[in-house]
Chains A and B, each alone.
Chain A
Amino acid sequence: MTEVVFYVFATIAVVSAALCILQRSAVSAALWLVTTMFSLAGIYVLLGAQFIAAVQVLVYAGAVMVLFLFVIMLLNIGHSTPDLRGSSMVGATVVVVGLLVVELATLWRYTPRRLAAEITGTPLANPAALFAAGQAAQQETAARGVVGGVAAPLFQQYLVPFEATSVLLLSAIVGAVVLAKRKV
């Protein structure tokens, strides 16, 4: 059942991402990207990351995409224009995308057991013993809830990067205001 729902969400994500890069109008590209982000949030729930799914909907599908749509409508570029680049770029795209899709066939068949076998070098490695951190994290999530399982490492192990993030956001706010001001 979980797998069926996963593949439904995955199909929606891939189709709407393809439509996002192929639509001529910037507004429809933005709306297809919102669809991709919503289906990714559904996949996060299936993978057991409910808090990340909520943040995905709030921050990406909410704040960031509203910012994009706001700028599109402010600049009045919603109407479609001939928008694709020249043939040299199309060739480069085919090469890059072909190389990236080759790794897909490899990644498709990965399971925790195969990953464990490749890391240890023995074919019958036990994934539960190798990935003890993941087991501990899942037990912690079961004990303290989904938010607690993310908050504990965020405010203990990763406290200094978290504080550095606030400086990054402050400088981004100041930079955006200075750049968008009419008279510089």
Chain B
Amino acid sequence: MLLGPSLALSAILFSLGVAGVLLRRNAIVLFMCIELMLNAVNLTFVALSRLYGAGGYVMVFFVMTVAAAEAAVGLAIILAIFRHEQSVDLENINLLRG
């Protein structure tokens, strides 16, 4: 049935994603870590929909759609920032810092 190991793997992958978001300065790698977290959540949905019915698969479908939209818009924002700052380093992007 593999319910417990799937949930545990999902927790590990989500933790690695959080660690990446906190540790890395490159904005594109940060986006990749967000994708990793979304993938971990998808694994939870798939593992639990063996018990709770096909609604979990539909949710995975929606999460993938939102992730694709987020990647497109986020990478366009990074492109615009790079054109302005010549860098994607998050330490250099501090326009809103008081």
Taken together as a complex, chains A and B put the C-alpha atoms of A37 and B29 apart, in Å, by 15
Taken together as a complex, chains A and B put the C-alpha atoms of A107 and B10 apart, in Å, by 10
Which one of B9, B68, B75 lies within 8 Å of A43 (CB-CB)? B9
* A 79-118 to B, binary, CB cutoff 8 A, 1 in contact else 0: 0010111000110110011001101100111111001000
Given A165-B65, A175-B76, are A112 and B12 also a contact pair (CB < 8 Å)?
no
Contact A168 B28 (CB under 8 A): no
Given A21-B16, A93-B23, A153-B55, are A110 and B46 also a contact pair (CB < 8 Å)?
no
Which one of A51, A72, A92 lies within 8 Å of B22 (CB-CB)? A92
Taken together as a complex, chains A and B put the C-alpha atoms of A74 and B13 apart, in Å, by 29
Which one of A64, A97, A131, A152 lies within 8 Å of B19 (CB-CB)? A97
List of A residues within 8 angstroms of B19 by Cβ = 21, 93, 96-97
Contact A26 B28 (CB under 8 A): yes
List of A residues within 8 angstroms of B43 by Cβ = 40, 43-44
B contact residues, range: 35 or more
Taken together as a complex, chains A and B put the C-alpha atoms of A38 and B21 apart, in Å, by 21
List of B residues within 8 angstroms of A184 by Cβ = 80
Question: Is B77 in the interface zone, CB < 8 Å from A?
Answer: yes
Q: Which residues of B contact A (CB under 8 A)?
A: 1-20, 22-26, 28-29, 31-33, 35-36, 39, 42-43, 46-47, 49-55, 57-58, 60-62, 64-73, 75-80, 82-83, 88-91
Closest 9 interchain pairs by CB?
Answer: A21-B20, A133-B53, A172-B69, A179-B76, A110-B4, A100-B15, A107-B7, A176-B76, A131-B51
Q: List 23 A-B contacts (CB under 8 A).
A: A6-B5, A13-B9, A17-B12, A17-B36, A49-B57, A55-B64, A67-B71, A68-B71, A83-B26, A84-B25, A85-B22, A85-B91, A97-B19, A107-B8, A112-B1, A112-B51, A134-B52, A152-B54, A165-B62, A168-B69, A172-B68, A173-B72, A176-B73
Q: Apart from A75-B79, A85-B90, what 5 extra A-B contacts exist at CB < 8 Å?
A: A29-B29, A33-B32, A49-B46, A83-B29, A179-B79
